[in-house]
Amino acid sequence: QVQLVQSGAEVKKPGAPVKISCKTSGYTFTRHYMNWVRQAPGQGPEWMGVIDPSGGRTKYAQKFQGSITMTSDSSTSTFYLELSGLSAEDTAIYFCARRKDGSNYFDYWGQGTLVTVSS
């Protein structure tokens, strides 16, 4: 069965970077793009961007251009989201969400990674 397992919670100081992982299993890694979505406390989800694992091509929401990097590693079937220059406003749960075959919808989600930014 399809599984997306994310890395554990992180606590970071303002200005620090963080790298979150999303390890996949149960499907062909290169067949499905992976999206990253974040959800601040009490807020709706927010799409951050998407990566094509077959070539590494990415598309980021303009809001996050320059502050995020999405990568993938086919040898371990793992996706990564790196955020730089964290601020308190980046405190949120970060989800990876697989693109559904033949569409742009998100069918499987990771369990989420809480990133807390606090001095």
Q: Looking at residue 29, what DSSP letter applies?
A: G
The single residue among 29, 36, 79, 106 that binds another protein, judged by CB under 8 A, is 106
Retrieve residue 104's tokens. 């742009």
Residues 46-85 that bind another protein (CB under 8 A): 46-47, 59, 61-63
Q: Looking at residue 88, what DSSP letter applies?
A: G
The single residue among 58, 67, 71, 112 that binds another protein, judged by CB under 8 A, is 112
In the complex, what is the shortest distance from the CB of residue 48 to another protein, in angstroms, rounded to a whole number? 9
**Three-class SS of residue 30?**
helix
Residue 64 gets the label, from left (phi > 0), alpha (psi -120 to 50) or beta, of: alpha
Binding residues for another protein (CB under 8 A)? 35, 43-47, 59, 61-63, 95, 97, 100, 103-107, 109-112
